[in-house]
């Protein structure tokens, strides 16, 4: 399993580093200001897939704290 993370704040990167989590990521974090979009924008999700050399869809898991927002923006579901 490969792991990356999409972030809106660099403070979180510093926290992940302090906790020893950052080195556990398979790919570097995708930062919102590098993508010029904030979560839950689909641009940050697609860039994370690109960084991990994966196509959105099968084999890609998105974890967030706002299910409807992430599902609707990442997968463009009708009616959301």
Domain count, the chain: 1
- Give the per-residue pLDDT at 1: 64
Q: Which domain holds residue 36?
A: 6-75
CA distance 7 to 56: 18
- What is the distance between the alpha carbons of residues 77 and 57, in angstroms, rounded to a whole number? 13
Query: Is residue 17 one of the residues assigned to a domain?
Result: yes
pLDDT in tens, 54-68: 887 766 666 666 666
Taking only the tens place, the pLDDT of each residue in 13-40 is 888 889 998 888 888 888 888 888 877 7
**Residue 80, domain member (yes or no):** no
Tell me whether residue 1 is in a domain.
Answer: no
């Amino acid at each position: 399993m490969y792991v990356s993370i999409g972030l809106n704040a660099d403070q979180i990167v510093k926290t992940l580093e302090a906790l020893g989590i950052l080195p556990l990521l398979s790919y570097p974090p995708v930062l919102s200001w590098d993508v010029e979009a904030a979560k839950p924008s689909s641009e940050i999700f697609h860039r994370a897939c690109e960084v991990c050399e994966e196509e959105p869809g099968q084999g890609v898991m998105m974890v967030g704290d706002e299910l409807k927002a992430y599902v609707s923006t990442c997968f463009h579901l009708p009616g959301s």
